[in-house]
Structures are given as C-alpha cells and as structure tokens.
Chains A and B, each alone.
Chain A
Amino acid sequence: DTGVSQDPRHKITKRGQNVTFRCDPISEHNRLYWYRQTLGQGPEFLTYFQNEAQLEKSRLLSDRFSAERPKGSFSTLEIQRTEQGDSAMYLCASSREGQPQETQYFGPGTRLLVL
C-alpha cells in the first residue's frame, strides 16, 4: 500500500497527558498537511510542511501543539497537556509540489478521545 498512513488509528488518553501522532506520506510527496476534524464538520487546517520546513500554521494550532518533519519524510504531531476539547479526528494529507492544483491525498486519521 503506497498511500498515506497514520499511527495510531485510535488513542484514548486522560486530560493533562501528552500524545504524539505519526504520519507517513506518499513517498514522492514533498508537502504534508495536518488537519483536525470534529463531529459534523469538515477538516480544519492546522499546519503544513514543504520538505522539512513548516511553512504555515493556523491560529487553531495553540502553543500546546507542535509538529515536526525532521527529515522531510514522516511527520509527528504532539499535543501537550491534552484537554477534552482536543478530542477529534486528526487527519494527515500529502501532495506533490508542482502537480496541477496539488491534489491532496488523505490518510485514515487518528481518532483522539481525551477523558
């Protein structure tokens, strides 16, 4: 399978704990995006990387959130001191710069539940 993969698929944690999610993009894609999706809503953009550089961050991304893509391949999204409001599906997508309109391909998501 050469699609976007995410790990874990589900995460249950207690309020105040830290969690980290991983995304592996399609291998030839140099752009990687993180989104958050809550029930009944479309995905909301959080941040994106071009290669290893984080080029844009949404105002939704509070200082408890940090994302990295150290070698320009996989990426991690960490949430520190989780809150119940962080419960959501976290989606990763990738695209290739220069592809027409840069269609994004999504992973299956990580569903986070904060108790």
Chain B
Amino acid sequence: GNSVTQMEGPVTLSEEAFLTINCTYTATGYPSLFWYVQYPGEGLQLLLKATKADDKGSNKGFEATYRKETTSFHLEKGSVQVSDSAVYFCALSDLSGGSYIPTFGRGTSLIVHP
C-alpha cells in the first residue's frame, strides 16, 4: 500500500534560516506528490505539488522536487519567516481504485523564532 514518512518535529529555526523538511514515500503506482500547510486552528491549504519525476513544485518561496530514484519530495525554503510557523504535511495520491484519495504523512511542526 501507499505510505508517506516525514521527519519528526518540531523543527525550530531562527528567522531567515534555511529550511528542509524531509519526506519519503512508498507507492504502488505512479503518484502525484503534495505539500500542504496547516496553520493553527485551520484546515489544510495546498502549498505546492508535483505530478511527475523531476518536476519542481514551488510557491511562496517554498520548493520541492519529485525524486523518483530516491522516492523523496523534500520541502525547502531559503529564508523562513515567523509567519511560516505551521504544520506541514507531505501527501501522495494515485489512481487507486478509481479515485485520487491521498495518503498523508503525520506532519512536521515548524516553529520560527524572530
């Protein structure tokens, strides 16, 4: 079956530091990969996605590259801000059973200090 493994948090950084949140996956098919962000008390927001190998998803300074050879989709940002403090979820979806029901990782909490 499909699964997603994320690095455990919390990740604590100072403002303007470089961010990496690791994500690896196992999939039976050829999945699409996603990063979602969840701010306190809110639902999930799609941050970025990639649909095929070597695609790079990017949004709001965040990037992630779909690496089929290492089955990874690590999230990076060159300079984090306090407002980036949130929980980040890596997810995959493929056409299992005729529908794109995603599988989520457990989430990685990011805390950015001024």
Question: Residues on A close to B: CB < 8 A?
Answer: 4, 6, 31, 33, 40-45, 48, 50, 55-56, 89, 91, 93, 95, 100-109, 111
B51 to A100, Cβ gap below 8 A?
Answer: yes
B44 to A106, Cβ gap below 8 A?
Answer: yes
Given A55-B99, A101-B100, the answer on whether A40 and B106 have CB atoms closer than 8 Å is yes
B contact residues, range: 20 to 34
Q: Mark B21-49, 1 if CB is under 8 A from A, else 0.
A: 00000000000101010000111111001
CB < 8 Å A-B pair total:
61
Q: Tell which of A31, A40, A91, A101 touches B43, judged by Cβ atoms closer than 8 Å.
A: A91
Smallest CB separation, A69 vs chain B (Å) = 15
Quick check: is B73 within 8 A (CB to CB) of the other chain? no
A91 to B106, Cβ gap below 8 A?
Answer: no
Given A100-B51, A105-B46, A106-B43, the answer on whether A43 and B104 have CB atoms closer than 8 Å is yes
Quick check: is B97 within 8 A (CB to CB) of the other chain? yes
Q: Tell which of B4, B45, B51, B89 touches A101, judged by Cβ atoms closer than 8 Å.
A: B51
Q: Inside 8 A of A111's CB, which chain B residues have their CB?
A: 41
A25 to B92, CA, bound (A): 21
Q: Inside 8 A of B65's CB, which chain A residues have their CB?
A: none
Question: Residues on B close to A: CB < 8 A?
Answer: 4, 32, 34, 36, 41-46, 49, 51, 89, 91, 93, 97-102, 104-107
Instruction: Knowing that A31-B99, A45-B102 touch, tell me 13 more A-B residue pairs with CB under 8 angstroms.
Output: A44-B104, A50-B99, A91-B43, A101-B32, A101-B100, A102-B99, A103-B34, A104-B100, A105-B46, A106-B44, A107-B43, A109-B43, A111-B41
- Interface of chain A, helix or strand or loop or mixed? strand
Q: Inside 8 A of B91's CB, which chain A residues have their CB?
A: 42
A109 to B76, CA, bound (A): 27
Given A91-B43, A107-B43, A109-B42, the answer on whether A45 and B101 have CB atoms closer than 8 Å is yes
